[in-house]
Amino acid sequence: MGRVTTRRQVLRLDGARTVARPDTLVVEEPLEIRVAGESLAVTMRTPGDDFDLTAGFLLTEGVLRSADDLRAMRYCAGSIDEGVNTYNLLDVELGPGAAVPAGAQRRFYTTSSCGVCGKASLDAVRTTAAWEVRDDPVRLDSAMLAGLPDSLRSAQRVFERTGGLHAAGLFDAAGRLLCLREDIGRHNAFDKVIGWALREGRVPLRGTVLLASGRASFELTQKALMAGVPALAAVSAPSSLAVDLAAEAGMTLVGFLRGTTMNVYTGAHRLGL
């Protein structure tokens, strides 16, 4: 399996002082996702939790709805060294009744910072969600929400060594961390968490909060919605489309979650406001 981090030599400048030393970097490598041998997408990601990443990606693309839709996943030998498995190509076998919907194929390279930009067409952006979150009765305490970024940060082991990863954390309504995943791509981190939940039979994720270590984009909001998450929080700002989608879906969206302050953009009723 590929390494999550690697070492490179750097020159460290500190005023007039220059020191040569090794530095720890996050690994970035491509992952090609195939369904029944047919290429569906190539995404740049941090190696690790690739089965979760693939399952989450397929759920948020509308290919999967439950763990029963996923029959098998297996690594295929890559093409860098003939006969040597590079763990950068993963083939998926779908269960009966599951299929890649028309128009869902990306079929070309997407970067680690961009997911929606790889869509085949803008018409495919608003993926139809399988579950309604508007009627989720979960109630959230503002003090609990305020403590989530520290809980997330303390669990980010690779970030501590590199400073180069995004994180997504899934919490229950009491603020207990259920799953954390890190990746060089923020959308990949979300897919890894959602894929973990799918494989554990937890989808739809009713009564939960999904926390992003950065901003809340439209795509991250859509991914949370596709997994049935009623509340999305971010330590940074949401986009206008993220707020519009959350309001349309009945999702609670919180941004600028820092210390005891936060902005509640939608779904304030879940905080008793």
Residue 159: burial class (beta carbons within 10 Å; 0-12, 13-18, 19+): middle
Give the dihedral of Cα atoms 198, 95, 83, 78; nearest 10 deg: -50
- Active-site residue list: 114
